[in-house]
Every structure is written in structure tokens, then in C-alpha cells.
């Protein structure tokens, strides 16, 4: 477990050191951030090496037992094949982001806090990955939410950054309410908050179907929030107001990947709840198609990649819902590599052009040759072009879904068919928007000049030249796994052995499924051909014009923000005003009224208290006379 502690503590120590030394020794911040991520990456590679060699197994350690007066929990960690391989992804992307950010944010006055939050973000994701207790996992889960708020709002002087940070924080917190209650339900139902204990309870019948359904549906709220699934997906495109390296970190290795990881880790529990799997498959199907359509209509390269992330995460969740544990995790790792590459390439483009808009780009393949080659690899992997990593990973996911559709399993057959049809549609749509971006950025011509991007550092002037070395080298390094990770699917049993299996009932093999492969390739080729033809012969400036009147609707994310404002925000505001009015006009009326009545009574009595002795004697005499008259009247 020594390597685990090193991987966890190195980025955390780097965060503390960056905050402590940021003002006094600002030149030390960048080396500290890179060193923390680098040491964590080396420790994760050691763990992965043990796993590949077959010497890792499952190792755990408990730091403390926390009695609560009821069901206790432990501060416990464990490492197995899944956590080791995902830890390599997390620390590897974090290292690339720390190196890249040195030049990207050079001269930024808030670089020290930025580097510290990146390190803390990395440590929090590693806590999620290695946690062996649901409450320990929750700690890492929530710390990531806090870090995302500060990093998305790094350029807080810009209203877009402030709004994006608040929106991300509130939407993910909304999902986390259900996640917290899901932890309570799962722990109480299984009699333990240990993740291993919960999985064993699900495998051995110690968890009833009803409890599993309620708990997993609640957990799914948090998963949908973190992994930006419908209807809690609305925060992710607006999070693009943050610095581009942060977009790479969030979209590739942390935050959004956490939801998929939790489903993979607790997949045996989810498989005890077919209703939850059906909900997950349908939500994933709606999300993958809808977000891919939005990406096809979008003009901002970072927002295209953001919608792409939403769609690809839905792919992974659909594969996991269908029982494709090894396939879903393979796509998680492959996506982490090529999506980090794509966002960092986008940062290089923004650095050169000074804008996020594709209207300001075009013909950059000769001006930016390194960016052109590396982004071509990334877009090819995203579009599942063989033999790049995305092709094998997506084929494995589609194979798992088709197996569930044709042969059954925990996922209901109708839900598997919905996911399968959506999966093939998304293959075509992904190829279409990836081809459109590639043509417009590297082969087209600029169609207009637009203002600088919100996430572009204000001190950087646009210039058509390759990015500095520390921004350029991570692109070349990330292009290698983006191209080759998917080849693990061709080695029967290897990937499944490294992951250690997913639990009872989860298919182990990950391999090429020829029927789905051929169908996916047909969709891919037709989509690429259609977009290329439209670009060359119909709408050379932008093939998305073929969407016609539907384009504004798609570019606006199906106007989900407007719908939420109309049917959620306004009713809540109205209810809040009604509560305030009731408190002010009803509750406070009686409180203030009783006080005023007491003052009036006291004022009336005060009139009788004049302090004049003769007045008191006169009143006393008048009272005696009245009593005498009353007595005489009674006797009479």
C-alpha cells in the first residue's frame, strides 16, 4: 500500500505547498505542481505494473474506525486493478495539465491558487478511486465539487466564468443530495458502508431488490450530476468559461469520470436493480443522441468538445448498464486520453487564434503542423476511426449492448434496444461533428473575426504560430495513448484480467464484435462522406448550415436552460416569494399586532398614572360614590 499513500499524498502536499509559498516564492509554484503530479503518476504506474504482473490482487488498509452510535464506518482505502488503472489515467492527465499550464497561464497573478486547486482536485479524485468506504468516497466526491467551482471561476472578473462556476456547483449539488441519501440507503440495507462489503452483500443475496433499487436510483442522481447526464447536463457546456487546461482535467480524468467510475465500482449492486439499469440506459440514450446533435450545431470548439464529453460519458454508462464492465472501463480510459489531448489542442488553437470560434479559424494545418497532427489523432479516436483507440473501445461497448439486446441479462431487453439504436445513431453524429471541426479548423478559411475567448488569458496576444514547448510537448505524448489504448481490446482476457473482473454476472471478455463493427463502420463512413460532400459542394463555410431552422435550437442545447428557468426556477422563486409574503403578512402580522396591542393597552393605563395625588383622591372618591350608589340601588 506504500505506492497508494504516495499517490494520494503527493498531489495533496503539492497543493498545501503551492498555497503556502505562492506569494513568497512564486517561481517555486510550477515545479511543485509538476512534482506532485509526477510523483503521483510514478506511484500509480508502480501499482499498475504490479497489477499487470498479477501481483496486485486486492489490497486494503483501514486508518480508523469511526463509531457513530449506530452503523459505524471506517476510514479505509483499497487498491485493485480498476483503481490502479484509473489512477494512472488521473495522474497522467493531471501531470500533462500541470506542465501545459506553465506556458498557458504564464504571468497569471492567480497561478499559485490555480496550481494548488489542480493538485487538490487530483488528490480528491484519487480518494474516490481508492476509497473502500462510501463516506470516504463521498469526501473525495465533494472536494472535487468545491475545486471545480474555484477552477471554473478562475477568471472571476468575467461574468461568464462566475456564472459557469455557480451553475456547475448548484447543479452538481442538486444531484449530490440524492447521492448522499443513496449512501444511507445502501449502507443501512447492506449493514455496512464498506464498498467491498456492499458488493459482497449484493452478490450473496444480502441486499434485497427493493433496497438495491431505491439506493441505486438515489445514487444515480449524483452520477447524473457529476457525469453531466440528462437532465443535469446543463452545467458542463457553461463550464467552458474556465481555463482550457481545466476543461481537459475535468472532462478527461476527474469530476465527470467519477460518476462512471462509481457505477463501475458498484456494478454488482446496480445489477440487482433492473429498474435502475433501465432508467440508466434510457437516460444514456437520450443524452448521447441529444448532446451529439448539439455538438453538430455548435460553433465554439470548446463547447463542441464539451457536448462530445456528455455524449461519450453516456456511451460508457450505457455499456455498463448492459453489463459491459470491461468495455465501459476501456472506453473511460481511452476517452480520458483522447479527450485530454483534444482540449489541450483546443488550447493551442485558442492561443494561436485568440478565439474559441471556428469562424475565426481555417487553413491552420500548415501554420500549426504539430497541433494539426495531434488533433487529427484525437478527432479520429473520438470518431472511432480504425485503428485508433476509440474504434476498439466503442466497438466493445456496442458489442456489450447488442449482447444484452439479443441474449438478455439484468438490463431489460427493450432498454437494451433503445440504447443500441441510440448508440449507432451517435456513431454517425460523432463522426459528423468531428469531421466538421477538422475541416473547418484545418482546411477551411476564416469567415469572420470574433472577440477573444473568455478562457483566453488576457495577457496573451493571438499569433498564428505553434504553441510554446511546454504546451506542445504534452500533445505529442498524449497522442500515443489516444491512438493505442484501444488495442488492448484485441488481446482476449488481458484487459479483464487487469481489471480483476467486475463481479458476479458481469461478462469478462472484451473483443471485436464483427456485426456491430461493420454496422458502426457503415455509419461512420456515411457520416464522414456526407459532411465532406456538404463542405465541398453545398456549404463550404459550414456544413452545419444543412441543419436549417433546427440549428439555433440545437446550438442552444434544446433550450434546456430556458425550460429550467420557466418550469423550475420561476416556480421556485414564486414559492419563495409566497413563503416570504406569508411570513411577513401573516406570521409577522400577529407577532407585530400583539406587540402593538400591548403598547396600546399600556398607553391607556398610562393615562391614568399621572402622578398627581389630588387626581388619585378624586378618582378614589368617585369610585366610593359609585359603589355607594350601586349598593343603595341593590337594597332598594
- Say which residue, 38 or 108, is predicted with more confidence: 38
Confidence of residue 504 (pLDDT cuts 50, 70, 90): very low
> What is residue 412's predicted lDDT score, i.e. its pLDDT?
92
CA dist 387 and 373 (Å) reads 16
Helical segments of 443-468, H only: none
Residue 511 has pLDDT above 80, yes or no: no
Confidence of residue 595 (pLDDT cuts 50, 70, 90): confident
Least confident of 239-243, 356-360, 435-439, 618-622: 618-622
- C-beta atoms surrounding 548 within 10 Å: 8
CA dist 324 and 318 (Å) reads 9
In contact, 192 and 201? CB cutoff 8 Å: yes
Least confident of 12-26, 345-359, 457-471: 457-471
- pLDDT average, residue stretch 59-75: 82
- pLDDT average, residue stretch 283-302: 94
Q: Which three three-digit cell numbers place residue 131?
A: 476509497
Helical segments of 408-468, H only: 413-442
Residue 217 has pLDDT above 60, yes or no: yes
Least confident of 165-174, 201-210, 294-303: 201-210
Confidence of residue 492 (pLDDT cuts 50, 70, 90): low
Q: Which three three-digit cell numbers place residue 252?
A: 478527461
Each residue's pLDDT tens digit, 99-115? 999 999 988 889 999 99
| Domain ranges across the chain | 2-555, 564-635
> What is residue 491's predicted lDDT score, i.e. its pLDDT?
66
- The rounded mean pLDDT for the chain is 86
> What is residue 512's predicted lDDT score, i.e. its pLDDT?
47
List b or e across 567-590, with b for residues whose CB sees 16 or more CB atoms inside 10 angstroms. eeeeeeeeeeeeeeeeeeeeeeee
Distance of CA 63 to the CA centre of its chain: 29
Least confident of 88-92, 163-167, 444-448: 444-448
Helical segments of 111-228, H only: 111-130, 134-152, 159-190, 195-203, 209-226
Residue 96 has pLDDT above 90, yes or no: yes
> What is residue 60's predicted lDDT score, i.e. its pLDDT?
77
> Going by DSSP bridges, is the β-strand pair 73-79/59-66 parallel, antiparallel, or unpaired?
antiparallel
> What is residue 431's predicted lDDT score, i.e. its pLDDT?
92
- pLDDT average, residue stretch 570-581: 88
pTM above 0.85, yes or no: yes
Each residue's pLDDT tens digit, 361-419? 888 888 899 999 999 999 999 998 988 888 888 888 998 999 999 888 889 999 999 99
- Say which residue, 91 or 486, is predicted with more confidence: 91
Distance of CA 74 to the CA centre of its chain: 26
Residue 188 has pLDDT above 80, yes or no: yes
Residue 508 has pLDDT above 50, yes or no: no
From first CA to last CA, the distance across the chain in angstroms is 108
Amino acid at each position: 500500500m506504500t505506492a497508494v499513500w504516495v499517490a494520494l499524498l503527493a498531489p495533496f502536499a503539492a497543493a498545501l505547498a503551492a498555497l503556502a509559498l505562492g506569494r513568497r516564492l512564486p517561481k517555486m509554484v510550477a515545479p511543485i505542481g509538476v512534482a506532485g503530479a509526477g510523483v503521483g503518476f510514478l506511484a500509480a504506474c508502480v501499482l499498475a505494473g504490479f497489477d499487470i504482473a498479477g501481483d496486485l490482487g486486492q489490497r486494503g488498509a483501514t486508518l480508523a474506525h469511526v463509531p457513530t452510535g449506530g452503523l459505524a464506518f471506517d476510514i479505509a482505502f483499497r487498491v485493485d486493478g480498476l483503481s490502479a488503472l484509473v489512477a494512472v489515467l488521473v495522474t497522467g492527465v493531471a501531470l500533462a495539465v500541470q506542465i501545459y499550464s506553465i506556458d498557458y497561464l504564464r504571468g497569471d497573478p492567480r497561478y499559485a491558487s490555480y496550481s494548488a486547486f489542480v493538485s487538490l482536485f487530483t488528490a480528491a479524485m484519487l480518494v474516490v478511486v481508492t476509497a473502500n468506504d462510501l463516506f470516504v468516497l463521498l469526501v473525495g466526491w465533494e472536494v472535487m465539487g468545491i475545486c471545480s467551482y474555484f477552477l471554473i471561476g478562475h477568471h472571476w472578473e468575467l461574468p461568464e466564468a462566475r456564472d459557469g462556476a455557480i451553475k456547475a456547483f448548484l447543479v452538481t449539488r442538486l444531484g449530490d443530495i440524492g447521492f448522499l441519501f443513496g449512501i444511507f440507503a445502501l449502507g443501512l440495507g447492506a449493514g455496512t458502508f464498506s464498498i467491498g462489503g456492499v458488493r459482497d452483500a449484493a452478490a450473496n443475496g444480502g441486499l434485497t431488490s427493493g433496497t438495491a433499487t431505491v439506493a441505486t436510483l438515489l445514487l444515480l442522481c449524483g452520477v447524473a450530476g457529476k457525469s453531466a447526464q440528462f437532465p443535469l447536463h446543463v452545467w458542463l457546456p457553461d463550464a467552458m468559461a474556465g481555463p482550457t487546461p481545466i476543461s481537459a482535467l475535468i472532462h478527461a480524468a476527474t469530476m465527470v469520470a467519477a460518476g462512471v467510475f462509481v457505477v463501475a465500482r458498484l456494478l454488482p449492486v446496480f445489477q440487482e436493480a433492473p429498474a435502475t439499469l433501465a432508467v440508466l440506459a434510457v437516460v444514456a440514450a437520450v443524452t448521447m443522441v441529444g448532446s451529439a446533435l448539439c455538438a453538430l450545431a455548435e460553433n465554439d470548439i470548446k463547447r463542441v468538445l464539451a457536448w462530445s464529453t456528455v455524449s461519450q460519458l453516456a456511451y460508457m454508462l450505457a455499456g455498463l448498464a448492459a453489463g459491459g464492465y470491461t468495455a465501459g472501463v476501456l472506453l473511460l480510459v481511452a476517452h480520458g486520453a483522447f479527450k485530454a489531448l483534444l482540449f489541450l489542442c483546443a488550447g493551442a488553437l485558442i492561443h494561436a487564434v485568440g478565439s474559441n470560434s471556428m469562424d475565426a479559424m481555417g487553413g491552420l494545418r500548415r501554420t500549426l503542423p504539430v497541433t494539426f497532427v495531434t488533433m487529427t489523432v484525437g478527432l479520429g479516436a473520438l470518431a472511432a476511426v480504425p485503428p485508433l483507440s476509440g474504434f476498439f473501445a466503442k466497438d466493445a461497448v456496442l458489442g456489450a449492448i447488442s449482447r444484452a439486446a439479443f441474449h438478455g441479462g439484468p438490463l431489460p431487453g427493450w432498454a437494451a434496444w433503445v440504447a443500441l439504436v441510440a448508440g449507432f445513431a451517435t456513431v454517425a453524429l460523432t463522426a459528423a461533428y468531428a469531421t466538421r471541426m477538422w475541416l473547418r479548423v484545418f482546411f477551411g478559411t476564416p469567415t469572420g473575426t470574433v472577440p477573444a475567448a473568455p478562457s483566453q488569458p488576457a495577457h496573451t496576444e493571438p499569433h498564428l504560430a505553434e504553441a510554446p514547448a511546454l504546451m506542445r510537448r504534452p500533445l505529442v505524448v498524449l497522442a500515443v495513448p489516444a491512438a493505442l489504448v484501444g488495442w488492448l481490446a484485441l488481446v482476449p482476457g488481458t484487459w479483464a484480467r487487469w481489471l480483476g473482473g467486475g463481479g458476479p454476472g458481469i461478462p469478462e471478455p472484451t473483443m471485436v464484435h464483427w456485426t456491430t463493427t461493420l454496422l458502426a463502420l457503415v455509419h461512420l463512413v456515411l457520416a464522414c462522406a456526407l459532411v465532406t460532400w456538404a463542405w465541398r459542394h453545398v456549404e463550404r463555410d459550414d456544413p452545419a448550415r444543412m441543419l436549417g431552422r433546427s440549428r439555433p435550437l440545437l446550438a442552444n442545447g434544446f433550450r434546456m436552460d430556458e425550460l429550467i428557468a420557466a418550469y423550475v426556477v420561476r416556480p421556485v422563486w414564486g414559492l419563495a416569494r409566497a413563503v416570504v409574503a406569508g411570513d411577513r403578512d401573516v406570521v409577522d402580522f400577529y407577532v407585530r399586532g400583539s406587540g402593538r396591542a400591548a403598547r396600546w393597552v399600556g398607553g391607556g393605563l398610562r393615562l391614568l398614572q399621572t402622578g398627581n395625588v389630588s387626581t388619585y383622591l378624586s378618582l378614589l372618591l368617585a369610585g366610593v360614590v359609585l359603589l355607594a350608589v350601586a349598593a343603595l340601588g341593590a337594597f332598594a
